[in-house]
Amino acid sequence: RGCKLIGCGSAVPALKVSNDDLAKIVDTNDEWISVRTGIHNRRVLAGKDNLTDLAAEAARKALDMAEVDPNDVDLILLCSSTPEDLFGSAPQIQKALGCKNNPLAFDITAACSGFMLGLVSAACYIRGGGFKNVLVIGADALSRYVDWTDRGTCILFGDAAGAVVVQACDIGEDGLFGFDLHSDGEGQRHLNASIKENETDHALGTNGSVIDFPPKGSSYSCIQMNGKEVFRFAVRVVPQSIEAALENAGLPRSKIDWLLLHQANQRIIDAVATRLEVPSEHVISNLANYGNTSAASIPLALDEAVRSGKVQAGHVIAAAGFGAGLTWGSAILRW
Ligand code: ACO
């Protein structure tokens, strides 16, 4: 069996935060942020907004475009590192969409690579598991884990959701040709939001040794990042990964209509495009308006490019995600 992308959708929170807005809370300015990152604005969840609703809105738009009834969805993959529920929010999206046939719904945690892993997982479930209509949603609210006093990180991130519908098809119509996925736990020190070691009481264990008990509860620290290392990592691994995915797909670089990378930094996007010799007019970028929206960035940029008519039926897209974990991966797709 083959699988193809037949619909996309996205949603962003209403609250827009500009570089000038950030300059009121940390020592920064529009020029520094624009020149170093390419970001001008980002959207942030506020008030009663929540990520599950945002993800469900993106999913509904993707289902509408695909003309697939929610009751015909048999798998929902929520790619998110910031779910509303520690145990996963995908079933809440299934509930919000009103899918009455109880499709399998679960979360995938892989930071900014999450959507790529979700997409490849969808293809595997379709090819090997007999699934027919799979919703892949990338949704993140990193604003909840940003230290808003740290100018090195708070300028980078925004909140958003994006979704695609992947459907089973004959192998002749296959729309996912090749992929390449990796991780490297050694690099976690460069980018993480780790669990905090909260203080606990001391008690005696059964053999008389002192143990920490009961635990005082846990929380996660804000995002810690070594920007320069992450930059170097992305520029090194992403071109290699796209080359590997192209080789797996049996396609030359010249077949790429669009380069669609995780939207982290315009300088990373430009450097990867240069290494792959993809001209700038074939590169999709919308991070100026949304910043780095983690697992949402690829489907959000894809949705805008499809709805604006840039990406058209039959176009070949080289997509790649990279980020915390460290994780990275690419896929060659036909829209
Ligand atoms: N405004 C003004 N000055 C700043 C700011 C700011 N917002 N942030 C840092 N600076 C200062 C620093 O304090 C430093 O000052 P100093 O020279 O007096 O010490 C100077 O600017 C240079 O700082 P660097 O951190 O070296 O700046 P760099 O050129 O590396 O740019 C940036 C920083 C934009 C973060 C860059 O490293 C980058 O984009 N890296 C990639 C990060 C990324 O994409 N992360 C997301 C990965 S995806 C995921 O999974 C979450």
**Whether residue 16 has pLDDT greater than 80:** yes
Q: Answer whether 165's CB lies under 8 Å from 6's CB.
A: yes
Distance in Å, CA 24 to ligand 1 centroid: 18
Q: How many CA atoms lie within 13 A of 272 on its CB side?
A: 34
pLDDT band at 217 (very low <50, low <70, confident <90, very high): confident
Cα–Cα distances in Å, from 236 out to 12, 239, 242, 268, 272? 30, 7, 11, 10, 8
Annotated active-site residue 3? The verdict is: no
Quote the pLDDT of residue 201.
Answer: 75
Q: Whose CA is nearest to atom 11 of ligand 1?
A: 152
Q: Which residue has the higher pLDDT, 219 or 38?
A: 38
Q: Say if ligand 1 is within 6 A of residue 191 CB.
A: yes
Quote the pLDDT of residue 120.
Answer: 97
Q: Say if ligand 1 is within 6 A of residue 300 CB.
A: no
pLDDT per residue as tens digits for the range 246-294: 999 999 999 999 999 999 999 999 999 999 999 999 999 999 999 999 9
Q: Say if ligand 1 is within 6 A of residue 230 CB.
A: yes
Q: Say if ligand 1 is within 6 A of residue 222 CB.
A: no
| Tokens coding 210 | 């002192």
Strand partners, 259: 283, 318
Quote the pLDDT of residue 212.
Answer: 76
For the CA of 151, the nearest atom of ligand 1: 7
Distance in Å, CA 247 to ligand 1 centroid: 34
Q: Say if ligand 1 is within 6 A of residue 88 CB.
A: no
DSSP letter, residue 174 = -
**Whether residue 321 has pLDDT greater than 90:** yes
pLDDT per residue as tens digits for the range 83-112: 999 999 999 999 999 999 999 999 999 999
Q: Say if ligand 1 is within 6 A of residue 39 CB.
A: no
Q: Which of 231, 268, 269, 293 to mutate to test the pocket of ligand 1 (most atoms within 8 A of CB)?
A: 231
- Read off the amino acid at residue 107: D
pLDDT band at 213 (very low <50, low <70, confident <90, very high): confident
Q: Say if ligand 1 is within 6 A of residue 231 CB.
A: yes
**Whether residue 227 has pLDDT greater than 90:** yes
Whole-number percent of the chain with pLDDT over 90: 90
Q: Say if ligand 1 is within 6 A of residue 220 CB.
A: no
Q: Which residue has the higher pLDDT, 73 or 216?
A: 73
**Whether residue 218 has pLDDT greater than 90:** no
Annotated active-site residue 112? The verdict is: yes
Distance in Å, CA 153 to ligand 1 centroid: 7
DSSP letter, residue 221 = P
- Annotated catalytic residue within 99, 112, 133, 190: 112
Task: Report the chain's mean pLDDT, rounded to a whole number.
Answer: 95
Q: Whose CA is nearest to atom 49 of ligand 1?
A: 323
In our burial notation (b when 16+ CB lie closer than 10 A, e otherwise), range 16-40 reads ebebeebbeeeebeeeebeebbbbb
H helical segments located in 216-327: 227-249, 266-276, 287-290, 297-307
Quote the pLDDT of residue 211.
Answer: 77
Q: Which of 27, 228, 327 to mutate to test the pocket of ligand 1 (most atoms within 8 A of CB)?
A: 228
Average pLDDT rounded to a whole number, residues 137-166:
97
pLDDT band at 159 (very low <50, low <70, confident <90, very high): very high
Distance in Å, CA 321 to ligand 1 centroid: 20
Q: Whose CA is nearest to atom 38 of ligand 1?
A: 227
Q: Whose CA is nearest to atom 44 of ligand 1?
A: 264
pTM of the entire predicted model: 0.94
> Measuring CA to CA, which residue among 149, 53, 139 is closest to residue 93?
53
